[in-house]
């Protein structure tokens, strides 16, 4: 057994965490030979309920789980963390716009970014799940100036999985036969799910589908609005599927992607594909050796260009808003 990996999860008594923690403890994220120390962070009012979650984790008698610590202090939670999954945030409820969440969450991600800067391990990898995820990741990144910007990411893997699922349904193909779908931009209803490079059973998805109306009027809006549809149906935002996306994201970042496929991650833009440098924007990426690489040299047609630009413009606007609110400095 290797040295335990310290995994910090915030919002640890919430819905997504309940779908996440038991799978992490079972090895679904880091593999069957990685021993894990769990550090669970909650607000003081939720620590009591977190104690119950910790009891359940203990009762799993997971062979890989070497310790469980619970705390309401971010400095304690991120001490020595190798992996941080920032789930804790105020979730959007019915009728609430994502933009309303910017100021509500700015303070949380400022505090968590600073604590990561002060206390996390040198190899820290951060995944932000709590919405607005891209901009929350940007705030945390700006408040952790000593941590390389490449270590801050946000979750668009759920959107990626949703896009695969819709394409699988449309083409009557198992999800495992669909490759090279990509999500660009923001985890919001401006995101652009791109199938122009996607393959269905090895054939170009656009040829297999051969239905532009479906692409424009059905596929793209369905993926963009899926989170809202789930909130409407469930009365709460997606939880198990979000936890699954988060596991997929971190598993692939740490352990690598398939050689013939790519995944989607929101990462700090290096200016690739004309996306403003410094924004946390979703791209198709591959992962190897614990690093991700934005897939290079993809041809972007005019249709995709305008959709990517629209979502990136929204990210730039969110950036301006949080800059004006004082959560980021430049």
Residues that bind ligand LMR (CB under 6 A): 91-92, 131, 158, 227, 230, 237-238, 242
CB of 180 to ligand LMR, least distance (A): 22
* 131 annotated as belonging to a binding site for a ligand: yes
Nearer to ligand NAD, 110 or 269 (CB): 110
Provide CB contacts within 8 A for 62, sequence distance 6+: 25, 26
CB of 166 to ligand NAD, least distance (A): 16
* 14 annotated as belonging to a binding site for a ligand: yes
The site partner of 230 among ligand NAD, ligand LMR, none (C-beta below 5 to 8 Å per kind) is ligand LMR
Nearer to ligand NAD, 114 or 173 (CB): 114
Q: In whole angstroms, give the CA distance from residue 44 to residue 19.
A: 21
CB of 230 to ligand NAD, least distance (A): 8
Single out the residue of 292, 283, 205 nearest to residue 257, CA to CA: 292
Q: What is the CA radius of gyration of the chain?
A: 19
Nearer to ligand NAD, 90 or 177 (CB): 90
The beta strand positions in 42-144, using DSSP E, are 65-71, 83-86, 125-128
The site partner of 278 among ligand NAD, ligand LMR, none (C-beta below 5 to 8 Å per kind) is none
Single out the residue of 222, 291, 322, 292 nearest to residue 283, CA to CA: 292
142 is catalytic: no
Provide CB contacts within 8 A for 89, sequence distance 6+: 11, 101, 105, 108, 109, 129, 130, 131, 136
Among candidate residues 112, 142, 160, 187, the one labeled active-site is: 187
The site partner of 108 among ligand LMR, ligand NAD, none (C-beta below 5 to 8 Å per kind) is ligand NAD
Peptide bond preceding 132 in cis form (omega within 30 of 0): yes
* 129 annotated as belonging to a binding site for a ligand: yes
Output phi, psi for 149, to 5 deg. Answer: -65, -25
Give me the residue whose beta carbon is nearest to ligand NAD: 14
Residues that bind ligand NAD (CB under 6 A): 10-11, 13-17, 41-43, 46, 87-89, 91-92, 108, 129-131, 133, 155, 158, 187, 237-239, 242, 245
Provide CB contacts within 8 A for 266, sequence distance 6+: 133, 134, 137, 153, 154, 155, 156, 186, 187, 280, 281, 282, 283
Nearer to ligand LMR, 79 or 159 (CB): 159
Q: In whole angstroms, give the CA distance from residue 8 to residue 10.
A: 7
Nearer to ligand NAD, 200 or 220 (CB): 220
- Report the 10 Å Cβ neighbour count for 37: 18
CB of 259 to ligand NAD, least distance (A): 26
Binding region? 11-17, 92, 98, 105, 129-131, 162
Binding region for substrate? 92, 98, 131, 162
Q: Which residues form the catalytic set?
A: 187
């Amino acid at each position: 057994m290797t040295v335990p990996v310290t995994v910090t999860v915030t919002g640890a008594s919430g819905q997504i965490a309940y779908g996440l923690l038991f799978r992490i403890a079972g090895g679904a994220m880091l593999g069957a030979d990685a021993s894990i120390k769990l550090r669970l962070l909650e607000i003081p009012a939720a620590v009591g309920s977190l104690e119950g979650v910790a009891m359940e984790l203990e009762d799993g008698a997971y062979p890989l789980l070497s310790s469980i610590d619970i705390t309401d202090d971010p400095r304690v939670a991120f001490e020595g963390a190798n992996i941080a999954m920032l789930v804790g945030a105020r979730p959007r409820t019915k009728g609430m716009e994502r933009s309303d969440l910017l100021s509500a969450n700015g303070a949380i991600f400022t505090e968590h970014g600073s604590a990561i800067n002060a206390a996390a391990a040198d190899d820290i990898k951060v995944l932000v799940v709590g919405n607005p995820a891209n901009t929350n990741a940007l705030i945390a990144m700006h408040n952790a100036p000593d941590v390389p910007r490449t270590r801050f990411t946000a979750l668009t893997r759920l959107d990626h999985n949703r896009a695969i699922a819709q394409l699988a349904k449309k083409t009557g193909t198992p999800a495992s036969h669909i490759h090279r779908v990509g999500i660009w931009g923001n985890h919001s209803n401006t995101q652009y799910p791109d199938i122009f490079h996607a393959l269905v059973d090895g054939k170009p998805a656009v040829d297999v589908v051969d239905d532009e109306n479906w692409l424009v009027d059905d596929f793209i809006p369905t993926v963009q609005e899926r989170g809202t549809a789930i909130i409407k149906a469930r009365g709460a935002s997606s939880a198990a599927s979000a936890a699954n996306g988060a596991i997929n994201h971190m598993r692939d970042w740490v352990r690598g992607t398939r050689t013939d496929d790519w995944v989607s991650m929101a990462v700090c833009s290096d200016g690739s594909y004309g996306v403003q440098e410094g924004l946390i924007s979703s791209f198709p990426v591959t992962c190897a050796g614990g690093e991700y690489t934005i897939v290079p040299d993809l041809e972007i047609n005019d249709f995709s260009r305008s959709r990517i630009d629209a979502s990136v413009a929204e990210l730039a606007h969110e950036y301006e808003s949080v800059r004006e609110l004082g959560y980021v400095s430049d």
